[in-house]
Each structure stands twice: as structure tokens, then as C-alpha cells.
Amino acid sequence: MKKLLLIIGICSFCMAHAQKQGQPLIDSLLQELPKQKADSNKANLLNRLALTYDGINPDAMKKYADEALSLSDKLNYKRGIVKAYIIIGIAYDNQSNYPEALKNYFDALRLDQELGDKLGSASAYNNIGMVYSKQGNYPDALKNYFITLRIFEELGNKEAIASVYGNIGLVYSIQGNYSEAIKKHFAALKVNEELGDKDGIASTYSNIGNVYYEQGNYPEATKNYLTALKMWEELGIKGGIAQSYSSIGSVYTIQGNLPEALKKYYAALEIYKNLGDKDGISASYSNVGTICRMQGNYAEAIKNYFAALKINNELGNKDGNASVYNNIGIVCTITKKYKDAATYLKSGLALAKQTGNVIYIKESYAATASLDSAMGNWSSAYTNYRFYTQYSDSIFNKENTNKLVRGQMQYDFDKKEAATKAEQDKRDAVAAEEMQRQKLLRNGFMCGFSVVLIFAGIFFSQRNKIKQGKNKSDELLLNILPAEVAEELKAKGSITANHFDNVTVLFTDFVNFTKASENMSPQELVDELHNCFKAFDEITSKYNIEKIKTVGDAYLAVAGLPSADPDHAEHIVKAAIEINTYMKARSAELGTKTFGIRIGINSGSVIAGIVGIKKFSYDIWGDTVNTAARMEQNSEPFKINISQTTYELVMDKFPCEYRGQVEAKGKGVMKMYYLG
């Protein structure tokens, strides 16, 4: 929903806009406007006033931006002209008038480049990418997004970087590249949370929900959609509310709750109509049509699909039309209008391939297979169904992903072994040749015997070197993977992801990391992190705890895997107490030259396995890990916060203080306890 991104950094009033939104700000600016002289200050005020109508009244937005453009043009105030072009572009963008939006964005880009304004240029590139994305032109969208990201990274603009991460994630999601999509969305979420950008956080939760939805994880999708909806309602952002209604309606649809889905779609449609958001209106018509189709009301379904089709044609929205053509084809198949069905499905598949939307490609093949079956074309039905399953597998088949990882690891392992063997064979051949030559030159038994001894020395020396190299390789592997996992990799050449029912997870985080880093040189900062984490490693090793990873200034470890440990909770608690004691003593000694610490603990089940095909790492996933992170986030400096499940495992062995029920982000109210 971050259509405001393009203003970041190019309007001096952005911070005020972020801090004071809504009608009070509009009223204040309207009172100020008549007092201004016809100069650049008035042009800025007009642009600022126009921007306050973003997401509320696009016509008013254009009206005041047009006035700002006219005044700036008379004054030859180029920065005012740029701002006006951008805001007018946003207004057209909100109304889904993409040709006009692009025209204004390109005008802004041209002036920004003339002025040498990198920030403005990046913002224009981003908005151009957004329009291309809405039109289904994903290659050009990504091209502009990555140009945007490069510039914002050079400028260090975190808010803009988060927004571009989200935009790139959306395109990857449409293309079915969910691993990259979720990576970008969580990167955006982290930055937005650091900035306290509620609109950005809400947008990211919605995007993450979309990824879970496409992967069929509807509980997680719904949780993220509801979180986004709550935030957008608090902010009063109508477009975001409509978006959430549509997303929640999609979950209701897939779950078969058609009446509730229809309510959500109609609610979204009403908001989009009030906003004049044609893209949203079109999507809502299509959604309503799908519910009507599922309810058997085919005439009403076709009516809504064609309403969506008409708007998409006006907007040049190829991606939207791919979906609508597929849906019309499905209705025609059901109503036995097979010739029409074939025409619409063919058009839908062609557009989906043109835009690269793998979801719609998959749906096209599935619908075409159904049509072929209905017509008795069994061979074609089989072929199209096979294409459907291939695209489905490319999106959803986790086993294929695991095979890819295992295959790469096996390849790397075999390659190293083959290289070692080839080198040894080469050395053996040289040694053998040398021995043969010596035999020919010398006739005496003693000389021949000496040569044999020399060769044996060389041979065993080389074997020892290879053995030493293998030992070093094994040591390196054990630094990356748990011993049992490393042995499995060496024995089988692959690693199977496993489920562990009884583990305890430890999360730590340094609370004053930023402040402490201001008092240290980069080398001192790295040295202090190394000293702290080295101490943590030594402590966890005492209790047979597996360190998983460090991320920045956070430390993650787990007890109870890969080998079962009946005392996993007790061991983690003991380690946590020692880590906390160590950091207290270090803080007392070094003051601002070290860090405070928060510790969180939770017990339950996890999935553990290998991630990545380069620089692979052993990692753990599951709600248990997420809850441990929430325990840490809701702890206090030099406190150890544990969950109810961990409390029940250690309450007879360690003193615990009940904190009551605490609101945990994304988890709701949870019982928490402080250790001793």
C-alpha cells in the first residue's frame, strides 16, 4: 500500500505529514494557504495540501497539485514542478489511470535527472516500477525497482529501502519465487519496525499473508491479514482496509465460507468505488464473480467478470485480464459452451505467459484440462493436467527444493573427494614411475630395497597429508553442523529435515547495541561481539546445547536436538543464568564499552534441517522458535523471560516470578515468567 514512497526525501514536509495526518492537518493547511504570497513557499504548501488527500480524495489531490504545478511553472521553481508531477502521478495511480500516472512520473524523472537529484530520481523509478507491476509488465517493474534500490542503498534511506523490498517481494511472489519473496518481505518488516512505520508494517504483514496464502498456509495468511487490517483501521487508511477485506475474503473463499467471503468482497468494492480506485474495483468485481460462480449463479458471475474485463481493458491490465479470461472460461465449461471456453482459456494462458504470472499459468492449464475432460479429449486433458502439475510443483513442492539442496551438497562433497583422489593417483603414478626408473639404473639388491623404502616413505607421507586434510575438513564441517548431522552428510551425501517434539529454544539480544557502538571503533565493536559470543559458545557447550546461529547482535541456541535430551529445559535455563551473570559482570566492568542483554526461552517442537545450497547452515523453524523470540522481545535488560511451557518444565527446579498475561506481537496475550 506504500504509494507514498515516491515523496520520501524530495518534499521537506514528509516528517510533518507522517506525524500529523487526517482532517486536522487538512484544516490547518487550508487556513494557512490564503496567508501565503505567490512564491515557492506557497507552491510547497499547495503540494503539501495535495498530499494530505492521498488515499482520501484523489480529485482534491490533483486540484491542489495542479495549482502547485502552475505556480511553480510561472516561478521556474523546478523542485516545485517535480513535486507536483509526482503528486499528480500518485493521484492518477490511485485511480488506476496508469498511462497518465506514467506520464507524470517520467516528467518528474526527467527533471530530477536534470537537477542531479538522486533521491527524487530513485522515487520516480520506484513509482514507474509500481505502474509496470500493476500492468503486468514484471520484467520492467523489477528493472526499475532494482535501480531504485541501488540508489536508496547508496543514500542510506531506510524507509525507502523497506518499501522497495516490499515491491520487489510482490513481483517475486507473482512469479512464484516465494523463497525470494518472503526474504524481501521480512527484510522490509525488520526495517519498518526499526523505523516505527505503521503503514509500512501493515503493508508488509499483508504481503507476507499473500505468500502464505499462495502456499496454502491459510491460518498464517489469515493471522497476517488480520494484523494488517487492525493497523490500517487504526491509521484510517481506507485503501489498506479494502485490501485486507479482499485478502480475508480470499481465505473465506478457499475454505468454502462463501457468504462471508461475499460480504468482504462487497465491502472492499464499496471502498474502492469511493476512492475511485479502478484497479481495486476490477479485482473486486472478479472476486464477486468467483463467489457467484461457486454458488451456481453463472449469469451473475459472467456479469461481474465482464465488468472487471472492461476496466482492465481501459487500464491495459494484462495480468488482471489473464485471471478474468480463465474465470470466464471456467463458467463457459460448466455451462457447456465449450467453444467459447476454449477461446477464453487460450487468451488467459497467452496473457499469463506474456506477463510471467505462474499462478495464472497454472490455473489456465487446470481449467483447460477440465475443458478437455468435459469434451472427452482425454489425451489433451492428460497433457494439460501434466503442465498444471509441473507448474504446481515449481511453486509448492518442498521435496523438490530439498532434493536440490541435497543434490548440491552431494555434488560439492563428491567434487572434493574426486579432486583429492585424482591428486593422490597423480602422486602415486609419479612415485611409481620414479621407482621403476631407479630400479633400471641400479642392479644391487640393497639399492633396490632403498628405493622401495624411499617410495614407501613418500607414499605414507602423502597418505598422512591427505588424512590431515580430511581431519581439517571434518573439523570445519563440525563447526558448521552438529556432529550427528555431519556424520549423516558424510555417510549419505544428503541430510533429511527432522521434527523434534521436545526441545527448548534460547534467544538473546543486546538491548543497547546502537548506543554502545557509538562509543566504539568498528574493530572494538567486532572484538566485543566476538568476546561475548565466544563466552556464550563456551557456556552452551557445557550443557550439550546446539548453537544455531548469530544474526547481528542476536544469539540463537537450542537443547534437545539433534540428540534427545530429557533435561533440555533445565540445561537451557542453567546456560541462560550463566550468560546473564557473565553479561552483568562484563557490564559492571566495561560500562558503555559493552552491552546489556535480554533473554527469552520457550519449549516445544521444531523442524530442523539444512538451508541454502551455498554456505549452507543448520537451522530450526516453527512456532516454538517464534514464541522464544517474543519472550526475548518482551523481556527486560538482564532479565530471563520464559514461557508457560518452559515454566511447567522447570518450576520445581528454579525460582520463577509470574508476570501475568503479556501482549506478545503476533501471538496475542501470553503468560510469562521471570527466572529468579
Question: What does R_g of the chain's alpha carbons equal in angstroms?
Answer: 31
Secondary structure element (H or E) that encloses residue 610, with its range: strand 597-611
Q: Give the model's pLDDT for residue 477.
A: 46
Residues 6+ apart with CB under 8 A from 610: 405, 406, 409, 481, 485, 495, 497, 616, 617, 618, 619
Of 211, 204, 202, 258, nearest to 231 by C-alpha is 202
- Highest mean pLDDT among 14-28, 94-108, 302-316, 632-646 belongs to 632-646
- Read off the DSSP letter of residue 563: S
Q: Give the model's pLDDT for residue 490.
A: 53
Cα–Cα distances in angstroms (integers) from residue 135 to residues 3, 99, 118, 452, 537, in the given order: 16, 10, 26, 78, 52
Between residues 618 and 313, which one has the greater pLDDT? 313
Q: Give the model's pLDDT for residue 3.
A: 34
Q: Which residues pair with 510 in a beta bridge?
A: 597
pLDDT higher than 70, residue 473: no
Looking only at the bridges linking them, the beta strands covering 554-559 and 597-611 are unpaired
Q: Give the model's pLDDT for residue 544.
A: 86
Q: Give the model's pLDDT for residue 281.
A: 92
CB 641 within 8 A of CB 600: yes
Q: Give the model's pLDDT for residue 555.
A: 92
pLDDT exceeding 70 applies to what percent of the chain?
79
> Do you know the residue count of the chain?
676
Tens of pLDDT, residue by residue over 635-648, are 999 999 999 999 99
Domain 237-308 has CATH 1.25.40.10: yes
Q: Give the model's pLDDT for residue 619.
A: 80
Tens of pLDDT, residue by residue over 269-300, are 999 999 888 889 999 999 999 999 999 999 99
DSSP secondary structure string for all residues of 195-216: HT-HHHHHHHHHHHHHHHHHTT
Q: Give the model's pLDDT for residue 416.
A: 46
Between residues 13 and 211, which one has the greater pLDDT? 211
For CA atoms 211, 217, 223, 226, the dihedral sign is positive
Between residues 152 and 395, which one has the greater pLDDT? 152
Q: In 10 A of CB 190, how many CB atoms?
A: 14
Residues 6+ apart with CB under 8 A from 459: 428, 431
pLDDT higher than 80, residue 664: yes
* Rama region for 276: left / alpha / beta (φ>0; ψ in -120 to 50; rest): left
Tens of pLDDT, residue by residue over 554-587, are 899 999 988 888 899 999 999 999 999 999 999 8
Of 376-385, 453-462, 586-595, 612-621, least confident by mean pLDDT is: 453-462
Tens of pLDDT, residue by residue over 590-603, are 888 888 999 999 99
Q: Give the model's pLDDT for residue 615.
A: 53
Q: Which fold has domain 163-235?
A: 1.25.40
CB 478 within 8 A of CB 486: yes
Q: Give the model's pLDDT for residue 302.
A: 93
Question: pLDDT band at 438, cuts 50/70/90?
Answer: low
Tens of pLDDT, residue by residue over 230-269, are 999 999 999 999 999 999 998 998 888 999 999 999 999 9
Q: Which three cell numbers stand for residue 255?
A: 475454505
Cα distance between residue 49 and residue 33, in whole Å: 9
CATH number of 497-675: 3.30.70.1230
Domain 1-156 has CATH 3.30.70.3270: no
Between residues 452 and 507, which one has the greater pLDDT? 507
- Highest mean pLDDT among 466-470, 489-493, 661-665 belongs to 661-665
Tens of pLDDT, residue by residue over 2-56, are 333 333 333 322 323 333 345 677 777 777 777 788 888 889 889 888 888 876 7
Q: Give the model's pLDDT for residue 320.
A: 82
Average pLDDT value for residue range 89-105: 86
* Cα 102–chain centre separation: 27
For CA atoms 4, 6, 11, 15, the dihedral sign is positive
Average pLDDT value for residue range 446-475: 46
Q: Tell me, what amino acid is at 66?
A: D
Average pLDDT, the chain: 80
Residues 6+ apart with CB under 8 A from 357: 136, 138, 174, 175, 319, 322
Domains 1-156 and 237-308 share a fold: yes
Cα distance between residue 323 and residue 351, in whole Å: 9
DSSP secondary structure string for all residues of 16-57: HHHHS-SHHHHHHHHHHGGGS-SSHHHHHHHHHHHHHTTTT-
Residue in this structure with the C-alpha cell 506557497, named with its chain if needed: 42
pLDDT higher than 50, residue 414: no
Between residues 473 and 141, which one has the greater pLDDT? 141
Between residues 531 and 177, which one has the greater pLDDT? 531
Q: Which three cell numbers stand for residue 2?
A: 506504500
Tell me the H-state helices in 236-315. 238-254, 258-275, 278-294, 298-315
Of 405-409, 452-456, 504-508, least confident by mean pLDDT is: 405-409
Question: pLDDT band at 476, cuts 50/70/90?
Answer: very low
Instruction: Kindly list the domain boundaries of the chain, sorted by start residue.
Output: 1-156, 163-235, 237-308, 326-394, 399-486, 497-675
Residue in this structure with the C-alpha cell 499469463, named with its chain if needed: 352
Cα distance between residue 246 and residue 517, in whole Å: 44
Between residues 374 and 393, which one has the greater pLDDT? 374
Cβ burial, residue 570 (10 Å; 0-12/13-18/19+): middle
CB 161 within 8 A of CB 150: no
Q: Give the model's pLDDT for residue 1.
A: 35
Q: Give the model's pLDDT for residue 413.
A: 40
Q: Give the model's pLDDT for residue 17.
A: 35
Cα–Cα distances in angstroms (integers) from residue 84 to residues 104, 105, 107, 275, 365, in the given order: 9, 10, 10, 20, 45
Task: With H, G, I as helix, E, B as strand and everything else as coil, classify residue 618.
Answer: strand
> CA 77, 80, 85: angle at the middle one, nearest 5?
125
Q: Give the model's pLDDT for residue 481.
A: 54
- Read off the DSSP letter of residue 665: T
Average pLDDT value for residue range 327-345: 91
CB 225 within 8 A of CB 203: no
Of 561, 583, 586, nearest to 572 by C-alpha is 561
Cα distance between residue 630 and residue 650, in whole Å: 19
Between residues 475 and 244, which one has the greater pLDDT? 244
Tens of pLDDT, residue by residue over 520-557, are 877 888 888 888 999 999 999 888 898 888 877 889 99
